Copies of this chain bind each other. A is one copy, B any other.
Amino acid sequence: MSDAKQVIERLGKKATAAARKMRMIETHNKDDALRAAAVLFRAEMDDILVANALDMKAADENKLEASLKDRLALNAERVEAMAQGLEEIATLPDPVGAILDLVYRPSGIQVGHMRVPLGVIGIIYESRPNVTADAAALCLKSGNAAILRGGSEAIHSNRAIAKILRQALLQAGVPEDAVQLIDQTDRALVGALLAAEAYVDVIIPRGGKSLVARVSADAKVPVIKHLDGICHVYIDAAADADMATNIALNAKTHRYGVCNAMETLLIHQDAAALLPRIVGDLLDEGVEVRGCKKTQAACESLNVRTASDEDWATEYLAAVLSIRIVASLDGAMDHIAQYSSGHTEAIVTNNYDAGQRFLREVDSSSVMWNASTRFADGFEYGLGAEIGISTDRLHVRGPVGLEGLTTQKWIVMGHGEVRS
């Protein structure tokens, strides 16, 4: 057996044993652990910052990009934010053990579902050390054991954070091995983790597109993944002009680098008169606009570049927007079916039939009617926390909160019933 496989097997066995105990840990112990970790983050902030300084020094030596260095850097404020994040998760309702829809059947038995933890969750992430605390806290609150694999550039920070988390678990009477960090940077360990079907129930990659694609391609373990967010807003013929303008502006310009930002605006040809106003506002905000020929014609005096087919398939994550005029609602939905990544799409319309059809027929993880795509978010949806947004179809779709880290089992309560 390779060394990597042995390391993962050792971690996996400990995680499996911890996961079994975690199923019965009471809510107050989990919450105590989260609060104890917050206290320790504040008390031992210096240790974390010293460890982070080692990572930052190595980052300088390795000439890491400025954006990566920014993600890697910790300071008092960021550590305090991590501590507060843990305290917030402690206030959320515990999803584990909730019994849903318990009903009597003609046979006399009662049948329902109970929410239970997934088991062992592997988290693979990149340079942000705060993910170590966030992800561990979400796994803990949902009753799972976590195996964490952060980026090698953050190894010292991650070790310091994981050490504090485990100390807090111990204080609160929760199995320490519910949080384990893979504390070697050997790349073979990722491969071994992705193949560890016997020990890991699900893998969640958190990071850029290339990380997620690599994890998905290689994993034998099921993956809850988030790929692109090529989100659309469709302005229908029956849209309110002010509402359409506000939503289009907000969906594009509220933040550029986020997965729920609009990347393509579709507009019904009968609403094309709205375009000069919307495009003017976008240009004023510094957005580069690329349009189909009809869009260019409708915005003659404005600086609209030519959109290519490639634009429709691009997640810009930047101050760029493509615009296409369509002949009908069906034309808009055809475009979406062809180019959407299945993340989030919105229609703006006051027409009941158009809105109903769009909600029903568009096959994305979030489908919206008269609201900005920027609402596709665990906090906005009321999940209280979010480990990511799933663009998969099975198990969990869209923003993933604590419930997304659980599964269900059937429970039956009887009085001695037998099958006849």
Contact = CB atoms under 8 A, between A and B. Distances in A.
A359 B414 CA distance: 12
Contacts of A201: 393-394
Given A243-B416, A394-B222, A23 B380 contact: no
A369 B412 contact: yes
B416 A375 contact: no
Given A119-B393, A380-B107, A418-B246, A412 B371 contact: yes
17 contacts: A23-B360, A24-B357, A24-B360, A105-B382, A107-B375, A119-B363, A222-B222, A240-B416, A247-B416, A249-B418, A363-B409, A367-B409, A369-B411, A370-B414, A374-B418, A380-B419, A397-B409
Contact of A97 (B107, B360, B376, B411): B360
Given A371-B413, A409-B398, A418-B372, A105 B381 contact: yes
A186 to B, nearest CB: 27
Given A364-B409, A367-B412, 19 more contacts: A111-B381, A111-B382, A118-B394, A119-B393, A202-B394, A222-B222, A246-B416, A251-B418, A367-B409, A367-B410, A369-B414, A370-B414, A371-B415, A372-B417, A372-B419, A375-B412, A375-B414, A376-B410, A398-B410
A219 to B, nearest CB: 11
A109 interface: yes
A408 interface: yes
A226 B223 CA distance: 19
Interface string A350-365: 0000000101110111
Given A20-B337, A363-B116, A407 B419 contact: no
Nearest to A393: B407
Interface residues of A, number: 67
B380 A105 contact: yes
Contacts of A394: 118, 201-202, 222, 394-395, 407
A408 B419 contact: no
A286 B360 CA distance: 56
Interface in A249-280: 249-251, 254
Contacts of A23: 360-361, 363
A254 B376 contact: no
A419 B116 contact: no
Nearest to A334: B20
Contacts of A361: 23-24
A103 interface: yes
Contacts of A150: none
A340 interface: no
Given A107-B380, A409-B397, A371 B417 contact: yes
A411 B380 CA distance: 13
A414 B368 contact: yes
Nearest to A101: B382
A24 B359 CA distance: 11
Contact of A109 (B242, B348, B357, B375): B375
A179 to B, nearest CB: 20
A247 B418 contact: yes
A366 interface: yes
Contacts of A380: 105, 107, 109, 111, 419
A206 B246 CA distance: 51
A22 to B, nearest CB: 11
Contacts of A365: 409-410
A87 B127 CA distance: 57
A283 interface: no
A109 B361 CA distance: 20
